[in-house]
Amino acid sequence: MEMVVEMFSITQGYGFCTDGYIQVFFRVEDFVKLHVSEPQPILGETVIVELDLQTENTRAISLRRIKTPQIITGTVSSFDSVKGWGFVTNTIGTYFLHKSDFLHSFVPIIGNTVSFYGGRKKDKLRACYVIEGSIF
């Protein structure tokens, strides 16, 4: 069944996906990428979920990525280092930027470039797996 990744914790290695009616738990080990170089689950991406029908709990046996995610580059338009969040802008739109989505520890500087995978959380654009600079 098709579902959307609703939450994923890089540090804890688990997350939840939903079809709008039920919420399903998954572990990072259950996630199947299309290519080895791809990131772990991205918030808001659609995945194919196979459920464990042998248990009472709603748990995924596997999640399979449907399409290869694309890396996006944008410019930091704001960032509050005390609060740990801000925004990054590019031609597609403005993405919410949160320190929990940084792959490496850094403080984004307004006007600098970052690269990331575009995600969605609560129907808002979100920068996921953020790195400093442009990889292009």
Domain boundaries, the chain: 2-65, 71-132
Q: State the architecture of 71-132 in CATH terms.
A: Beta Barrel (2.40)
Per residue in 44-94, pLDDT (tens digit) is 999 999 987 776 668 899 999 999 999 999 999 999 999 999 999 999 999
> Bridge partners of 31?
63
pLDDT for res 11: 84
Cβ atoms 45, 119 nearer than 8 A = yes
34-51: burial string, b at 16+ Cβ within 10 Å, e else: eeeeebbbbbbbebebeb
Neighbours of 102 (CB within 10 A): 20
Residue 36 tokens, joined: 């080895």
Residues 63, 136: Cα–Cα separation, whole Å: 29
Topology of the domain covering 2-65: OB fold (Dihydrolipoamide Acetyltransferase, E2P) (2.40.50)
DSSP 8-state code for residue 62: E
Q: Which residue has the tokens 């929990």?
A: 100
pTM for the full predicted model: 0.87
- Does 2-65 match 71-132 in CATH topology? yes
Q: Assess whether pLDDT exceeds 70 at residue 111.
A: yes
Residue 22 tokens, joined: 């039920």
